[in-house]
């Protein structure tokens, strides 16, 4: 065997061995979500994948399973707690299942502005909610991202609360059911993955969601009107299995830093996406946008929220949330 051939064989063996080491170290990170594949929040996870894979030299990569393929909110939380999935990209509505004392944090008109909600979720209240989930279910909040306002869709224009009178309306939690009952609707739960069909068949007359969800799941194709109530400022919670999170070792910093970068991208992308989505819906001619009497909706919702919070949420939570409104 010539010296050159020996060198080539040795180099090839070294490369194969190095590839085997990298393959052994590679760790796919499973992210499941009820959001559709076209949803801007889901796209942020794909953005994160590129950043994380590069930062860890391929040791970690994101595998996104969208559209409720693995189940609804309850199922994903169960899978997250058991370690079947690593991350659940969701909204604060899941608090009702894993930290009900904080479920009021996604409620009708609890915040005066979107920025107030960010201060709440990224501050002491959000940390306390994360600690509560971690202690009971081994789940914690790795990041909080932008999602925007929730809007109402229906087969009739909704300009004031009384316009909801008698409508079969899909809601996501008990508090929201009480608020919409006060508006005159007939609220009922339904998994997000089943909602399009229910709206198309007339089983439900209306629903509420962020514009990105309305568009990505094509609700505008089966609902004639979109009322821009902004009745809830909602957020993306990147929920992570605590055992997985703590076991990241040297890659934990890259995980956190790239996730933060993805959330920064999402913040800007949501505003652009909402404008794009609205333009696309208007161009389609399938749904008409309505400007409602927001003050009327707010006035009717707040007493319902206060009564519900007093009975079901952490004592003093609303007062504490209100203190964040005045902060710069």
pLDDT tens readout for residues 45-97: 999 999 999 999 999 999 999 999 999 999 999 999 999 999 999 999 999 99
Token readout for 193 is 């993955």
DSSP letter, residue 123? S
CA 89/CA 80 separation, integer angstroms = 10
Let me know if residue 50 belongs to a domain: yes
Q: Is the pLDDT of residue 22 over 70?
A: no
Cβ neighbors of 42 (< 8 A, separation 6 or more) are: 33, 35, 36, 64, 66, 89, 216
More confident residue, 16 or 192: 192
Let me know if residue 54 belongs to a domain: yes
Read off the pTM: 0.81
Residues 190 and 74: beta-carbon distance below 8 Å: no
β partners of residue 30: 63
Q: Is the pLDDT of residue 8 over 60?
A: no
For residue range 125-146, list pLDDT tens digits in order.
999 999 999 999 999 999 999 9
Coil, helix or strand at residue 23: helix
For residue range 269-323, list pLDDT tens digits in order.
999 989 999 999 999 999 999 999 999 999 999 999 999 999 999 999 999 999 9
Element (H, E) at 251: none
Q: What is the CATH number of the domain that holds 124?
A: 3.40.190.170
13: burial class by Cβ within 10 Å (0-12, 13-18, 19+)?
exposed
Q: Give the mean model confidence (pLDDT) for residues 208-226.
A: 94
> How many structural domains is the chain composed of?
1
Let me know if residue 210 belongs to a domain: yes
Q: Is the pLDDT of residue 13 over 60?
A: no
- Structural domain of residue 112, as residue ranges? 26-323
Let me know if residue 2 belongs to a domain: no
State the greatest distance between any 2 C-alpha atoms of the chain, in Å, as a whole number: 90
Let me know if residue 19 belongs to a domain: no
Let me know if residue 296 belongs to a domain: yes
């Amino acid at each position: 065997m010539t010296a050159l051939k020996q060198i080539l064989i040795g180099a090839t063996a070294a490369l194969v061995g190095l590839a085997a080491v990298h393959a052994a170290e590679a760790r796919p990170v499973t992210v499941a979500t009820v959001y559709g594949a076209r949803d801007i929040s889901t796209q942020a996870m794909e953005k994160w994948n590129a950043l994380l894979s590069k930062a860890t030299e391929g040791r970690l990569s994101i595998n996104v399973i969208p559209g409720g393929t693995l189940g609804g909110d309850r199922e994903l939380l169960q899978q997250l707690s058991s370690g079947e999935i690593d991350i659940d990209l969701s909204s604060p509505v899941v608090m009702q299942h894993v930290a009900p004392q904080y479920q009021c944090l996604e409620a009708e008109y609890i915040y005066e502005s979107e920025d107030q909600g960010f201060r709440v979720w990224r501050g002491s209240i959000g940390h306390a909610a994360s600690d509560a989930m971690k202690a009971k279910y081994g789940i914690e909040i790795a990041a909080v991202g932008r999602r925007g306002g929730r809007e109402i869709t229906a087969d009739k224009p909704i300009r004031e609360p009384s316009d909801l009178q008698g409508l079969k309306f899909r809601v996501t939690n008990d508090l929201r059911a009480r608020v919409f009952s006060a508006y005159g609707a007939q609220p009922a739960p339904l998994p997000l993955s089943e909602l399009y069909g229910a709206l198309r068949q007339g089983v439900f007359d209306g629903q509420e969601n962020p514009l990105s969800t309305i568009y990505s799941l094509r609700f505008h194709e089966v609902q004639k009107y979109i009322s821009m109530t902004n009745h809830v400022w909602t957020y993306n919670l990147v929920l992570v299995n605590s055992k997985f999170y703590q076991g990241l070792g040297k890659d934990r910093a890259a995980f956190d830093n790239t996730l933060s970068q993805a959330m920064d991208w999402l913040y800007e992308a949501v505003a652009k996406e909402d404008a794009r989505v609205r333009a696309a819906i208007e161009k389609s001619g399938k749904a008409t946008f309505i400007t409602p009497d927001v003050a009327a909706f707010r006035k009717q919702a707040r007493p319902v929220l206060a009564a519900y919070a007093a009975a079901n949420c952490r004592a003093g939570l609303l007062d504490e949330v209100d203190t964040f409104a005045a902060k710069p």
